[in-house]
């Protein structure tokens, strides 16, 4: 499915040719294994250089490091699995109550 992206303060803060935008991402009712796609243009940028994401309610959010097809992965406590206490959220998990903040830097 998809994240809902609420951008704050378009077009963002400029540092020379580089801009920083800030916003809130909200999960949906059916998480996709491998992460949600991050909409760079929806964040007010043409090209992503760096993305920082905060943690949400009971989950850890992480950028996958890709600048060409960035994704946001969600991890949660898997206390029942001793070998992997923190694992990626499962396919179709309902994350609609989860919101995280982000800072995207790019052009």
pLDDT at 104: 94
Q: What is the CATH number of the domain that holds 38?
A: 2.60.40
pLDDT value of residue 81: 54
Copy the structure tokens of residue 36: 């949600």
- CA distances 61 to 17, 19, 27, Å, are 28, 22, 11
Cis peptide bond upstream of 103, omega within 30: no
Q: How many domains does the chain have?
A: 1
Q: What is the mean pLDDT of each run of 10 residues along the chain (107 residues)?
A: 66 75 91 93 93 88 95 82 73 90 93
Spatial CA neighbour of 49 closest among 63, 35, 61: 63
Alpha-carbon distance of 82 to 89, in angstroms, equals 16
Radius of gyration over every alpha carbon of the chain, rounded to an integer in angstroms? 14
Q: Which domain holds residue 76?
A: 4-106
């Amino acid at each position: 499915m998809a994240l809902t992206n609420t951008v704050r303060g378009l077009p963002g803060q400029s540092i020379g040719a580089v801009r920083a935008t800030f916003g809130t991402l909200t999960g949906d009712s059916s998480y996709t294994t491998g992460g949600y796609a991050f909409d760079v243009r929806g964040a007010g940028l043409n090209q992503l250089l760096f993305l920082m994401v905060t943690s949400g309610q009971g989950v850890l959010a992480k950028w996958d490091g890709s600048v060409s097809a960035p994704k946001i992965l969600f991890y949660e406590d898997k206390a029942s699995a001793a070998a992997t206490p923190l694992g990626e959220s499962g396919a179709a998990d309902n994350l609609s109550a989860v919101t995280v903040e982000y800072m995207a830097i790019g052009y």
